[in-house]
Structure 1
Amino acid sequence: MGIIDEALAKGQRALSEYQAKLFLKERDIPVTREELVLGEEEAIAAAERLGYPVVLKACGPEIAHKTERNLVQVGLDSPDEVKRAYAEIVENLGGDHYDGVLVQEMIKGERELVVGLVRDPQFGPCVMFGLGGIFTEVLKDTSFRVAPIEKYDALQMMEEIKAKAILGPFRGKEAVDRDLLAEVLIAMGNIGVEYPAVKEIDINPLIIDGSRPVAVDALVVLGEGN
């Protein structure tokens, strides 16, 4: 049984971030290296394996607004910082159910994009691409295509956003690998066609690490599958 079917069988309305990343990775979408842990010692061991600095996040299918609730701790450089961050996250959960704490490599990049999947009542599954991070809702610099899409469509979407200049050489950084980015957009469209139970996907941010796009945070919302 796949990740989506297992989640539906449990009555989940969304995947946890950990589940979402596993699902995306299966579809060849690059994601952060990360481990789901329970306990401070497990968190420290995971951080040692991943390499500092790391990010810690509360993880569970019903956990939302992680940043606002101080359920995310970034830039942790030592075992002591990981131990402190783990304890703070558990305390801030306030008894809410959680699957564990996600220990994640920290991707440093100045360019943040958003890639998504939405289901339009008229057109069906649609792929979304645009400027990500904190600017997504403010600037609404996005492009859409009805799924499935081809490489030509994906490349055209990149040209349609107003901030397309950030895809080129930027502040001494190399240009984004548009072929890899196109593969992410194509994969998103294929998910929309092949998985009717996936109602919505939001990868935000998709950070450019060197030239390579990496999904740093991901939300997968589930529906009835009709």
Structure 2
Amino acid sequence: MNKDSAAQIIKLALKEGRSALSEHEAKQVLAAYGVSVTREYLVENRGDVEKTAKKIGYPLVMKGCSFEIAHKTEKGLIYTDIRNDAEALEAFDRIKKGLNGYSGAILIQEMVKGRRELVMGLMRDEQFGPCVMFGLGGIFTEILKDISFRRAPIDESDAVKMIREIRGNKIVDALRGMEAVDIKTLAQMLIGIGHIGLDFECV
């Protein structure tokens, strides 16, 4: 874990009077605590799109990246399954237009495909302090509310119990041609998220 690296990002945001990080900044904080994130680069100039895409490789996802925008889809700031330079440049132009009036740049990232969606998070309870959350992700997060919580800090045993106690826990097992999820890796990510909550009271 690299607390100093995460602290620099958070301190800068606080110094600028912000109450939120951009997606890219948030991922840098998560990565500093051992949470796997997508390979990605921020791009401001159209001329950098093609060489950045080449670094990552197609297919790509491109997004508007601004701490001022929480829901990018509704604003037309997310383009997925981009397969060539022409599509990447078109997406850049459209996102740039959509960002008009907002601060930020354009995030170019690898496209990760999967049939499972899981959610992890951190909440701060008035009584218990930072608590780690795990559950079914995607549309099921709001509909089913199949989630579990633990007070931070947690260890690997706590994290595995969190994963196994949700009602839909079989989603992490081998299923219909899909390999089982690496439970140990999931557990380490949950542990890292808990440490973020302990190290930074503003999160």
Using structure 2 for the length normalisation, give the TM-score: 0.94
Deviation of 1:2 after TM superposition, in Å, equals 1.1
AA aligned to 1:68 is E
Of 11, 18, 41 in structure 1, the residue corresponding to residue 17 of structure 2 is 11
The answer to whether the Cα contact below 8 Å between 1:40 and 1:82 also exists between their aligned partners in 2 is no
The answer to whether the Cα contact below 8 Å between 1:120 and 1:126 also exists between their aligned partners in 2 is yes
Q: Which of the pair has the greater relative contact order for Cα pairs under 8 Å at 6+ separation?
A: 1
1:80 match: secondary structure? helix
Distance 2:50 2:168 in 1: 39
Which runs of structure 2 are paired with 1:143-222 in the superposition (5 Å)? Answer: 143-198=148-203
Deviation of 1:71 after TM superposition, in Å, equals 0.4
Of 14, 23, 32 in structure 1, the residue corresponding to residue 38 of structure 2 is 32
Distance 1:5 1:137 in 2: 32
Distance 2:48 2:175 in 1: 38
Deviation of 1:67 after TM superposition, in Å, equals 0.5
The answer to whether the Cα contact below 8 Å between 1:58 and 1:98 also exists between their aligned partners in 2 is no
Matched, 1:117 2:134: no
Deviation of 1:90 after TM superposition, in Å, equals 1.5
1:126 match: secondary structure? strand
AA aligned to 1:121 is E
Which runs of structure 2 are paired with 1:33-52 in the superposition (5 Å)? Answer: 33-52=39-58
Deviation of 1:162 after TM superposition, in Å, equals 1.2
How many correspondences in the alignment? 197
Using structure 1 for the length normalisation, give the TM-score: 0.85
Question: Larger % of helix: which?
Answer: 2
Of 55, 64, 68 in structure 1, the residue corresponding to residue 70 of structure 2 is 64
Distance 2:195 2:118 in 1: 20
Q: How far does the alpha carbon of each residue in 1:118-164 deviate from its partner, in whole angstroms, 9 at most, with x for none?
A: 00111111000000112111111100011111111101001111111
Deviation of 1:168 after TM superposition, in Å, equals 0.5
Matched, 1:23 2:35: no
Distance 2:49 2:146 in 1: 37
The answer to whether the Cα contact below 8 Å between 1:148 and 1:186 also exists between their aligned partners in 2 is yes
Distance 2:116 2:52 in 1: 27
**What percent of counterpart residues are identical?**
49
Deviates more, 1:133-142 or 1:99-108: 133-142
Question: Larger % of strand: which?
Answer: 1
2:74 match: secondary structure? coil
Deviation of 1:96 after TM superposition, in Å, equals 2.1
Q: How far does the alpha carbon of each residue in 1:88-129 deviate from its partner, in whole angstroms, 9 at most, with x for none?
A: 111222x22232100000000011100000001111110000
Distance 2:66 2:52 in 1: 18
1:23 match: secondary structure? helix
2:139 match: secondary structure? helix
